[in-house]
Amino acid sequence: MSQTTVQETKIVMADATALGVFGLSMITFVASTQKLGWTTGSVYLMPWALFLGSIAQIWAAAIDFKRNSYFGAIVLGAFGLFWIAVMMHWAIANGWFGETPANADPKQFGYACFGYFFFCCFVTVAAFEANKVFGIILVLILVLLSSLGLQLLGVNPSLFGTFAAWAEFAISILGFYAAGAIFLNTFFGRTLLPLGAPMGWVRKGA
């Protein structure tokens, strides 16, 4: 009786987290310059939102799904989709699809920010159990989303606009560090730039 030999082929994929975090860092860096008044308008923000904010993060998320990297897959995917929606919002506001309808209400973007804020409250817990830099970035994202949401709803726009601008700028700077650290640490196979040990607040199940 002949025996059948089964061969298993395993496709090894590289860690794409550095790419996804770099994409987030680039779009938040460029977008923060508009909020801080260093640049004006949103037309030239859209290419960065599309290619770095959305495609880079969604691409990294797709790879993380295949690698069974749950945190990166969900978080990078969620924010990649967020930046596609933001880019569409800017495109409509800039008349790319014709004249903006009179009943268009930008406050809906504000409520979307609160939706992501609620989601990120849960993500922040997991981020601190990944490393401290990710945890701090998520805290800053919470500040950004809540401040931007309040600004769009007309609650003290000057104050909360300033909070949103500096939070977004800080996200980009910490994100650049995180992307560089992940890249170098992975490439050299040892820790060159620390990201901070997990907080250890929540014990994972078996």
Does the pTM surpass 0.85? The reply is yes
Note the pLDDT tens digit of each residue in 85-136.
999 999 998 888 888 878 889 899 999 999 999 999 999 999 999 999 999 9
CATH number at residue 46: 1.25.40
Residue 10 domain flag: no
CA 204/CA 194 separation, integer angstroms: 22
Cα 22 to Cα 14, 102, 113, 135, 143: the distances in Å are 15, 37, 21, 16, 20
Residue 8 domain flag: no
Residue 141 domain flag: yes
Residue 71 domain flag: yes
Q: What is the pLDDT of residue 125?
A: 97
Residue 24 domain flag: yes
Query: At which residue do the structure tokens 């919470």 appear?
Result: 142
Compare 202 and 73 and report the one with higher pLDDT.
73
Q: What is the pLDDT of residue 66?
A: 93
Average pLDDT value for the chain: 93
Does the pLDDT at position 161 exceed 90? Answer: yes
Q: Per-residue pLDDT averaged across 158-163, rounded?
A: 97
Q: What are phi and psi of 170, to 5 degrees?
A: -65, -35
Compare 140 and 205 and report the one with higher pLDDT.
140
Q: What is the pLDDT of residue 203?
A: 83
Residue 25 domain flag: yes
Kindly report the CA angle at 113 between 55 and 81, in degrees rounded to 5? 20
Does the pLDDT at position 75 exceed 60? Answer: yes
Does the pLDDT at position 9 exceed 70? Answer: no
Q: What is the pLDDT of residue 98?
A: 83
Q: What is the pLDDT of residue 2?
A: 60
The residue segments making up the domain with residue 60 are 17-94+105-188
Q: What are phi and psi of 132, to 5 degrees?
A: -70, -35
Residue 205 domain flag: no
Residue 1 pLDDT class (50, 70, 90 cuts)? low
Q: What is the pLDDT of residue 23?
A: 97
Give the chain's domain count.
1
Residue 11 domain flag: no
Note the pLDDT tens digit of each residue in 23-40.
999 999 999 999 999 999
